[in-house]
Amino acid sequence: MKSKFRKECLEKREKIKRQNLDLKVLSLEEYKNAKTVFIYLSTPFEIDTMGILHKTLKEKTVLVPYCVDDKGNMIACKIDSLCDVKEGRFSILEPKNPIEYTKNIDFTLVPGVAFSKDGYRIGYGKGYYDRFLKTHKTFSVGLSSDELLFDKIPTDSFDVKLNMIITPTKEIKI
């Protein structure tokens, strides 16, 4: 059921104009108070994070994901500029020198295929972010289009609830 729903949402997402939620994210108190920010490096069909990344690189410690293997294990790696990343696994930008950041992470932006108003998300099916969020105490924010925000979505027992979902028209704190 979850994989069928994911497939339908991926097809729907391809028809949605790419959106930017920079101002909403940058104005959050949780973001403003954060010293360390984990930002996913967006792909063409995801909510764009590049504006947030450029602004954050000037003011805070920036961490980006590095997928260690195909089993859903991911680490956070510090970067100082976009010169520190290259295209990697799944054609996603990743750090050139993946050294795990082991200190606290204050704020995390989370991608997804679909989100629910009660804080759950459907990702790409490998569990990278669920495993990561389970082991890192951080304020987690999912970025979504309005079209891919649902009242409920299929979930599994291992899915991790986010602290907030942001769309162009909504900010839902969980």
Structural class in CATH, domain 2-173: alpha beta
At 13, the pLDDT band (50, 70, 90 cuts) reads: confident
Amino acid present at 152: K
Domain boundaries, the chain: 2-173
Instruction: Give the pLDDT of residue 11.
Output: 84
In the predicted model, what is the mean pLDDT of residues 50-79?
96
Angle, CA 27 vertex, CA 42 and CA 86 arms, to 5°: 20
At 15, the pLDDT band (50, 70, 90 cuts) reads: confident
Detail the DSSP E strand segments found in the chain: 36-38, 61-67, 74-79, 85-87, 93-95, 107-110, 114-116, 121-122, 139-143, 149-150, 164-166, 171-173
Instruction: Give the pLDDT of residue 70.
Output: 87
List pLDDT tens digits, range 113-170. Answer: 999 999 999 998 899 999 999 999 999 999 999 999 999 999 999 999 999 999 999 9
List pLDDT tens digits, range 65-84. Answer: 999 998 989 999 999 999 99
